[in-house]
């Protein structure tokens, strides 16, 4: 059986490493060409406070964003809900659930909703509005399956449905995540992770909003309907490769260092590093830094985030043996413009 698992692992690594050669070649020339950029926003409280550096160490529902293989570590049921105030007036709500199935499998489902609230309807002839409001909305739905192939090898796949809606146009698409994690060391304290995210066909908008009523020159006062040709856009594909190491001390204290290389198909590559301190899993403090070329200069930075991030988790155990219980997560990411991004979440595992 171990030989079979090694073959599966080798094949999966080959797919993850070879596919990005096509996807990521010349990414500096493709900056800004992708759509569905909400797929690049981490809505979860713990991993966002760690600066997205825990590709190798993520566990449970946080794996829906960082590495779907992390959901394979679910023992019992893991439920999480988060709220993020993004920029000044954008609300992001997320809910996720992972469930252990049998001894080695786990399934999951999650939803992320991004809302801009009410926006006044304006036209060229009525730019001041007064015609009512519309509510732009982005919705991501995902279904996952993960498996523990051995005591060291974990893998998973996530299928995502993406929906973007404006007043009278919409776009719908599908994307896939696939990832693996490898755990080794005397106390399973050395972790390796790799994941390919947002891999899927192009999306395009359609609807009545792409047509306009106008008068053509030389045709009198008769109006005609003109249809705007929509241009398909690609998914913001990423390849993440991460490494993490735990230093375990007496009395169940832990210090973890983690790092992830993030290769973006349509933006600059990034390097994320961070550290996490756990005090018997009751209180967890974390911080991270995400670097990209030109991040120190606002004129060359291609992200609103300036690099640093921090967060904390407070856990109230219900079962002292398994340490399952209730968690409260908080994270803060420094940004410019805007005065930082706050995320608050609650999690229940039982």
Instruction: Please report the pLDDT score of residue 4 as a whole number.
Output: 52
The pLDDT value recorded for residue 321 is 66
**Would you state the pLDDT for residue 222?**
66
pLDDT for the residue numbered 22: 41
Non-local CB neighbours of 284 within 8 Å, separated by 6+ positions:
46, 276, 277, 278, 312, 313, 315
Per-residue pLDDT at 20: 46
Number of domains in the chain: 1
Domain carrying residue 25: 2-349
- Residue 133 corresponds to which tokens in the numbers above? 């409001």
- Look at residue 108 in the predicted model and tell me its pLDDT: 98
DSSP state letters, 238-276: EEEEEEEEEEEEGGGEEEEEEEEEEEESSS--EEEEEEE
Q: Mean pLDDT per 10-residue run, the chain (350 residues)?
A: 52 50 50 83 94 94 96 94 90 96 96 90 78 88 96 96 90 96 93 96 85 66 70 91 95 94 91 95 95 88 90 86 83 89 93
pLDDT of amino acid 307:
93
Contacts of 244 (CB under 8 A, 6+ apart): 54, 56, 57, 190, 191, 193, 256, 257, 258, 259
Question: pTM for the full model?
Answer: 0.87
Q: Which long-range contacts (CB under 8 A, 24 or more apart) does 204-207 make?
A: 204/171, 204/230, 204/231, 204/232, 204/233, 205/164, 205/169, 205/170, 205/171, 205/230, 206/169, 206/170, 206/171, 206/230, 207/168, 207/169, 207/170
Listing DSSP states for 120-188 in one string gives E---SS-TT--S-EE--EEEEEEEEEEEE-SSSEEEEEEEEEEEEE-SS-EEEEEEEEEEEEEEESTTS
CATH number at residue 181: 2.40.160.40
């Amino acid at each position: 059986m171990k030989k079979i698992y090694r073959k599966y692992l080798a094949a999966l690594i080959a797919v993850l490493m070879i596919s990005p050669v096509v996807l990521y070649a010349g990414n500096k020339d493709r900056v800004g060409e992708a759509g569905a950029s909400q797929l690049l926003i981490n809505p979860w409280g713990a991993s966002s406070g760690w600066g997205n550096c825990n590709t190798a160490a993520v566990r449970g529902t946080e794996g829906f964003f960082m590495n779907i293989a992390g959901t394979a570590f679910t023992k019992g049921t893991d439920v999480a809900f988060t709220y993020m105030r993004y920029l000044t007036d954008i609300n992001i709500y997320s809910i996720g659930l992972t469930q252990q199935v049998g001894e080695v499998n786990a399934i999951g489902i999650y939803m992320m909703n991004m809302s801009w609230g009410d926006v006044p309807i304006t036209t060229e002839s009525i730019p001041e509005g007064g015609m009512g409001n519309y509510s732009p909305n982005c919705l991501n739905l995902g279904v996952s399956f993960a498996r523990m192939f051995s005591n060291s090898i974990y893998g998973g796949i996530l299928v995502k449905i993406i929906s973007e809606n404006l007043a009278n146009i919409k776009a719908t698409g599908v994307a896939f995540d696939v990832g693996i994690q490898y755990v080794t060391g005397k106390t399973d304290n050395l972790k390796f992770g790799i994941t390919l995210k947002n891999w899927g066909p192009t999306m395009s908008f359609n609807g009545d909003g792409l047509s306009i009523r106008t008068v053509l020159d030389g045709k009198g006062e008769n109006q005609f309907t003109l249809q705007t040709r929509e241009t398909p856009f690609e998914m913001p594909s990423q390849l993440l490769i991460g490494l993490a190491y735990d230093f375990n001390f007496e009395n169940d204290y832990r210090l973890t260092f983690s790092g992830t290389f993030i290769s973006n198909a349509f933006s600059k590559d990034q390097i994320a590093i961070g550290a996490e301190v756990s005090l018997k899993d009751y209180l967890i403090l974390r911080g991270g830094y995400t670097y990209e070329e030109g991040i120190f200069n606002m004129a060359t930075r291609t992200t609103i985030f300036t690099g640093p991030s921090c967060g904390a988790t407070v856990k109230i155990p219900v079962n002292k043996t398994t340490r399952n219980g209730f968690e409260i997560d908080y994270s803060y990411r420094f940004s410019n413009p805007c005065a930082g991004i706050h995320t608050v979440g609650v999690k229940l595992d039982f």
